[in-house]
Structure 1
């Protein structure tokens, strides 16, 4: 028997679809059910590496970070079929297309319209396979199901819902205002067959006096026949990485209060894998902020250059903001600088692009390295150990680390310059004084061993976060609603 499908739709991006899908994955898993998440198409530069590429089930492949975390919440092994289509924006009008874990150059070169119909057989087959292997599939939509200008090519919302005959929840962010209009307008724009799949409305991020909601829910049900089944209070600090987390943290150190180690992550336009820095927002004694101007770096103890989906354009942006001079000045004073993946590439002497992958240009010159962009992307999960690490980062010496790599660039020592320290061969390099460190490994700050040696404490992991989220929805959904969605 095929799995029952519960689907979380939203009135807008940022309404809370990913969060609620993650919570429901754990809620159903705790009832002894075999659960898998699914999102037909995700647009995000936050990706994780898992086993199971398009042609080789043992090969490494990419999937969206949100679905990766949802799989962990469901107590399932992350699988590229859970996010069969991943779009990674490189420019405002172009994305790299990842189909079932692997880059598809043909699809990447095509326009958006028409792509959905072309990939739908592969996407629906992935969903059907998951349904055959599980008791419950919790499906996440994208944006809004009522984007009438995109509906003919949309595969992630109602085409998926109809294919799976999913029982759907429609969630809205009431904190932004206009929630009842968003819910009613979305319902009104859906055809009757699609409206019939809506089982309930969810008001998310509510704060204030709940009695002030009346008579809105009752009037909305009278208009649509769909009840409001949950009002979820605003919950800051739940611990789940936000897909748009760059907008949720302060941009100047000191805005968020507190002291301790002050870490500024430079928020480039094409920043990728920003979710890997979520632990820094939770660790005691750490103050984290995103930085877009030199002023944002003035109080920093550490400056982090994160991953980038388009290193050369982000490096050009960094220079246009004067951040290159600010980073160099910080490093010159002995301040700590860390580059991760694209950030590592920026720290080197030069970026060389013989195949038209990313672009050519000079680096920041803080590490004696050269990066050459290759057509074949490195995608792998990686375990290694730091050798001897000098200077400011010496606490990492001997520390085993686990993470993942996603990069077109291949980096090596500049042949005409003094050699850099290389505490992990091919993965990590330091300058002579030891305060500038570059690594290819994503997920460094998610590793509790790294947290312990750098900050003297470690977070308990994500399982308590998932359980707290499941408890939260159980408290705030009307009794029996979540069980009825499976009947």
Structure 2
């Protein structure tokens, strides 16, 4: 029978052949095809709001043979995999190009003259019947209030060779009673009962409602579309479960190669994440509640009870078609049910989408319904931004600092946050807690005091296999990586709690990730990159370092390896450290935007001589080597294998005439004007390095020639006579002889000294006048005692934390060439630093004014200039839109 005749015959029963998601057709149908309308959120298609399983993307990373080779004509391997995972026999199962092909095969196998279907229900049943010249007769559901249920007595009385039942029903969302379905099949043994469970796996009642676990009678066929639950509409895959006889006949009728290669290859990947269905059900329940709480206050939508991933609603005050048209004008697509038999023109269907999309829908509905607030308030900045990078040292810390200062300059109350940091370069907060130095710098960019909540978890490596774990500023234990990951859930909760506290106090949190967000071996346990962004509901920005080369490959690889649900959080890309004409990148940017779907927000230039501390010791590589002739003063820092707090000396980099360099090779020490042994995370091991590498011998040789030698913290301990570790704080070695240049002995203890300190110099310090003020902080796990009672104390600490005190500190040798102290940041104090530079210049017989007058710009000015570079090269209006509430 001709299709047009069939449509005319079933005019009242055939639903419009326009389906959900077909925006172009719907625009034309609603007379909007000439309008410039972009759909930004689609509530008309009932796909899993979690998205597809991440494993599916493996198909597209190396798709060559799947594109060029023929797939198995009968999808035999895919069917074996599907049967194995579902606990079924292969002889009872057949796959198809979505559930639609399965329905068509059933009709071809059964050859009914008439088919019944519950109404309202899925339009496809009637459409396929019409294509096969089969009369499709709707049997109205029983209604009670807003609930719909199949009329089983009417179905039993019906005279048809085939009956369609959808459970959970589309579009009403309610399941049919399994017992009643089986009774219907038993009562009508000559009628084939087709049960469509395409939406069953979204239901919390699935286990008690599905027929999948039942032994089916020979006249009952169960159909499932995997398209919906696994969100693979583009792949197309469905299956039927029934008697071997009917399945065999369907297999005979199916055309070869109907299931494409990608869909076949996807089958085993669908089941790799055994927790996917459970997470889907929980997320569906969560979104269902959020949807109802969002639309009920509008007073114009009456939702029907739903057990799956969509909600049928009755609209008051306007037709479903009119509401669909108005929402499309606002970028929202919904499903109008006005042409579905059994429903009137007031019904719409809303798929469950993520909360941010439901918020868009709610605002659009408010606009359509004309609900106006008496005093509409302007949008305000509120939320979080996450900065992640394609690699370590891509520029995350600097980018985060730039964002902090940019928004601080706009009057926004902003704070930095990094859930977990691994660094030996730490800082003591005013409350006496330890955090990563980068977050202290970012706090400075925000013009606020640093706090332990800004970096709640800090890992300080103690060798190749273990780290000291610092939580909320305090060292709690030392553990290896395996033990750490076993305890990561509890640690994660502490990090989330710290974020929550910050979020209550500040309008904006600028978060920084760690390493790369695409470390696939660590994704499950992640709470510092995209999982943290997900928890904070933050928009993420990916920073890519072009200076290393391969920037587009690193962007594509990073984006591709991030699981799809987390990838949605990536809102933009910043290409960092570019040298040259940015126009050369245009074609590459256009391509990377096309294949990732993520806009490039800007290209940051390579910024030279940036006076902001590096996150870790990777930055020391640029300062390695020997002295350069152009420098007036040469300061050499011993690059210990376990160096910590190397930023103690970066204040010297403000002076172009001073070369600050780091070296671990004795021959490269040269003839510096000052040598500094910095802090160490493992003093005994690093003292052993000095000895075995020949560095100790070279230090003593240069000291004998008159080169000053300073030691800070661990370096101070090494200048003493011995270091004892009876409790194994640092490891197995219990004792190490020091350089014996200062009359002290150090005992390592588990308890740390953590405090900000301030004080003055006293007579005996050759490079500073008595009474010179200083500030700094102490982080050390040890106490040093003097072996000589008349030893000189060059420093007097007058305040520890918030407590006034009078403590002698530090040591200096009789000739004034060897100096040591526990105080980090000592040379950040301008008066002390200036006098030290003058002393070094005097020893070298050069004019100190020549060195000091060339001091570079202040840190405050540096932050402002950095924010200016950001605003000039990055679309800050777009970034600001991510956090407007």
TM-score by length of 2: 0.52
CA distance in 2, matches of 1:134, 1:91: 37
| 1:395 CA drift (Å) | 2.7
Cα deviations by residue, 1:198-226 (Å, 9 ceiling, x for unpaired): 11111111112322213111111111110
Evaluate the alpha carbon distance shift between residue 421 and residue 180 of structure 1 in structure 2; reply closer, same or farther with a 3 A threshold.
same
Of the three residues 764, 770, 775, the one matched with 1:402 is 775
CA distance in 1, matches of 2:593, 2:631: 49
| 1:419 CA drift (Å) | 4.0
**Contact 1:368/1:419 (8 A) holds in 2:** no
| 1:278 CA drift (Å) | 1.2
Of the three residues 443, 463, 469, the one matched with 1:91 is 463
| 1:303 CA drift (Å) | 0.5
Task: Provide the residue aligned with 2:881 in structure 1.
Answer: 484
Give the structure with higher Rg (CA): 2
Of the three residues 633, 636, 650, the one matched with 1:278 is 650
Task: Provide the residue aligned with 1:422 in structure 2.
Answer: 793
CA distance in 1, matches of 2:538, 2:655: 39
Cα deviations by residue, 1:328-370 (Å, 9 ceiling, x for unpaired): 1111122111000000000000011121113411000111110
| 1:21 CA drift (Å) | 0.3
| 2:831 maps to 1:449 | yes
**Contact 2:729/2:748 (8 A) holds in 1:** yes
Task: Provide the residue aligned with 2:409 in structure 1.
Answer: 30
Q: Please list, as runs of the form range in 1=range in 2, the aligned pairs for 1:313-328 lying within 5 A after superposition.
A: 313-328=685-700
Task: Provide the residue aligned with 1:247 in structure 2.
Answer: 621
Which range is displaced more, 439-448 or 354-363? Answer: 354-363
| 2:430 maps to 1:48 | no
Query: Gapped runs of 5+ residues in structure 1?
Result: 53-59
Cα deviations by residue, 1:366-405 (Å, 9 ceiling, x for unpaired): 1111011112111111111110125xx3335331110000
Task: Provide the residue aligned with 2:170 in structure 1.
Answer: none
CA distance in 2, matches of 1:26, 1:214: 29
CA distance in 2, matches of 1:428, 1:479: 48
Evaluate the alpha carbon distance shift between residue 346 and residue 199 of structure 1 in structure 2; reply closer, same or farther with a 3 A threshold.
same
Of the three residues 521, 539, 544, the one matched with 1:167 is 539
Task: Provide the residue aligned with 2:862 in structure 1.
Answer: 465
| 2:751 maps to 1:381 | no
Evaluate the alpha carbon distance shift between residue 102 and residue 2 of structure 1 in structure 2; reply closer, same or farther with a 3 A threshold.
farther
| 1:485 CA drift (Å) | 2.4
Task: Provide the residue aligned with 2:737 in structure 1.
Answer: 362
Query: Gapped runs of 5+ residues in structure 2?
Result: 1-379, 796-806, 839-851
CA distance in 2, matches of 1:263, 1:312: 24
Evaluate the alpha carbon distance shift between residue 299 and residue 350 of structure 1 in structure 2; reply closer, same or farther with a 3 A threshold.
same
Task: Provide the residue aligned with 1:154 in structure 2.
Answer: 526
| 2:398 maps to 1:10 | no
**Contact 1:114/1:153 (8 A) holds in 2:** no
CA distance in 1, matches of 2:657, 2:764: 23
Evaluate the alpha carbon distance shift between residue 367 and residue 106 of structure 1 in structure 2; reply closer, same or farther with a 3 A threshold.
closer
Which range is displaced more, 320-329 or 209-218? Answer: 209-218
Task: Provide the residue aligned with 1:56 in structure 2.
Answer: none
**Contact 1:367/1:436 (8 A) holds in 2:** yes
Of the three residues 661, 665, 673, the one matched with 1:289 is 661
CA distance in 2, matches of 1:380, 1:459: 29
Of the three residues 662, 670, 673, the one matched with 1:298 is 670
CA distance in 2, matches of 1:30, 1:140: 20
| 1:112 CA drift (Å) | 2.9
Cα deviations by residue, 1:168-196 (Å, 9 ceiling, x for unpaired): 11011111111111111111112221111
- SS across alignment from 2:880: helix
| 2:730 maps to 1:348 | no
Evaluate the alpha carbon distance shift between residue 418 and residue 109 of structure 1 in structure 2; reply closer, same or farther with a 3 A threshold.
farther
| 1:418 CA drift (Å) | 7.3
Cα deviations by residue, 1:441-462 (Å, 9 ceiling, x for unpaired): 1001211111222225466642
**Contact 1:412/1:426 (8 A) holds in 2:** no
Evaluate the alpha carbon distance shift between residue 239 and residue 208 of structure 1 in structure 2; reply closer, same or farther with a 3 A threshold.
same
Cα deviations by residue, 1:144-178 (Å, 9 ceiling, x for unpaired): 11100111111101110100111111011111111
Q: Please list, as runs of the form range in 1=range in 2, the aligned pairs for 1:133-212 lying within 5 A after superposition.
A: 133-212=505-584
CA distance in 2, matches of 1:327, 1:106: 33
**Contact 1:3/1:133 (8 A) holds in 2:** no
| 1:129 CA drift (Å) | 1.1
CA distance in 2, matches of 1:68, 1:464: 17
**Contact 2:755/2:778 (8 A) holds in 1:** yes
More strand by share: 1
Asked which structure has the greater RCO (Cα within 8 Å, sep 6+), the reply is: 1
**Contact 1:51/1:79 (8 A) holds in 2:** yes
| 2:602 maps to 1:220 | no
Which range is displaced more, 294-303 or 14-23? Answer: 294-303
Evaluate the alpha carbon distance shift between residue 109 and residue 179 of structure 1 in structure 2; reply closer, same or farther with a 3 A threshold.
closer
Task: Provide the residue aligned with 1:55 in structure 2.
Answer: none
CA distance in 1, matches of 2:608, 2:509: 27
**Contact 1:187/1:224 (8 A) holds in 2:** yes
Which range is displaced more, 121-130 or 351-360? Answer: 351-360
Which range is displaced more, 462-471 or 304-313? Answer: 462-471
Cα deviations by residue, 1:4-29 (Å, 9 ceiling, x for unpaired): 10110101101000010001000011
Which range is displaced more, 424-433 or 5-14? Answer: 424-433
| 1:115 CA drift (Å) | 3.0
CA distance in 1, matches of 2:576, 2:486: 34
- SS across alignment from 1:193: helix
**Contact 1:347/1:366 (8 A) holds in 2:** yes
**Contact 1:352/1:372 (8 A) holds in 2:** yes
RMSD, aligned α-carbons: 1.8
CA distance in 1, matches of 2:857, 2:592: 42
| 1:426 CA drift (Å) | 4.1
CA distance in 2, matches of 1:217, 1:275: 36
